[in-house]
Amino acid sequence: MFVITADQVDSRHRPDLVDVTLEGLNLRYGSALTLPVEQNSGDEIQGLTDDAEAALDIIFELTRASQWSVGCGIGPIDELLPKTVRAARGPAFVAARQAVTKAKQSPYRFALRSSRSSAADPGPLVTLAIALRARRTLEGWEVYDLLRSGLTQREIAQRLGVSPQAVSQRIWAANIRTELDARADLQAVLALANEATPAS
């Protein structure tokens, strides 16, 4: 299981993002969540999924604007799944707690911990992808979001009122193809790490 725990950065001096973030995550990833994302305590949220793709997407979404410290714990959870993630327990939750604590000291505000050592540690690879994304400009994100929505480069050019060559330049400058090409492999490494954790 993947437990994702996120704590809002500098919440005392920024607008409260908990409610809008919870609503958005549950709307976009609800079918892939084992338990809905909930407010855990204070400005902290937590979600549970067994889906590597959803876990990666949630991590990427929460780290996009550096507004959350994000920890991902991988491991088993206690049997007899409760109705709420706040009531769930197990090694994956312990790993997530350790991860979010470390994430607060990380320049990219992300850390991953597994409850069991694995030859394939996905943490550094996910951090590398987050670092790549952190260099993206607003123009790059605009093209990225349109590509992810299913539009072609020609359609994006028409939408933005620019040439197809300009869109290609933004894609190159923002390393969008590099990220998209690496996603399947990142998901595979996360899935392998999840499979390596024994049942609780």
- pLDDT, one tens digit per residue, over 10-27 is 877 778 899 999 999 999
Q: Phi and psi dihedrals of 156, rounded to 5?
A: -65, -40
Judge whether residue 132 has pLDDT over 90: yes
As a whole number of angstroms, the distance between CA 180 and CA 86 comes to 33
Can you give the pLDDT at residue 119? 58
Residue 120 carries which side chain, given as an amino acid letter? A
Residue with tokens 């549950």: 26
Judge whether residue 198 has pLDDT over 60: no
Burial zone of 126 (CB within 10 Å; 0-12 exposed, 13-18 middle, 19+ buried): buried
- Output the DSSP codes for 25-55: HHHHHGGGEEEEEEEEETTEEEEEES-HHHH
Q: Which helix (H) or strand (E) holds 72?
A: strand 68-74
Q: Which helix (H) or strand (E) holds 156?
A: helix 153-160
Can you give the pLDDT at residue 199? 52
Judge whether residue 200 has pLDDT over 60: no
Residue with tokens 């954790």: 197
- Region 71-84: what's the mean pLDDT? 92
- Region 73-93: what's the mean pLDDT? 92
Name the DSSP class of 199. Answer: P
Judge whether residue 69 has pLDDT over 90: yes
As a whole number of angstroms, the distance between CA 94 and CA 96 comes to 5
Can you give the pLDDT at residue 29? 96
Judge whether residue 167 has pLDDT over 90: yes
pLDDT digits (tens, 9 = 90+) for 35-52: 999 998 888 999 999 999
- Region 60-64: what's the mean pLDDT? 96
- Region 123-129: what's the mean pLDDT? 95
- Region 185-199: what's the mean pLDDT? 84
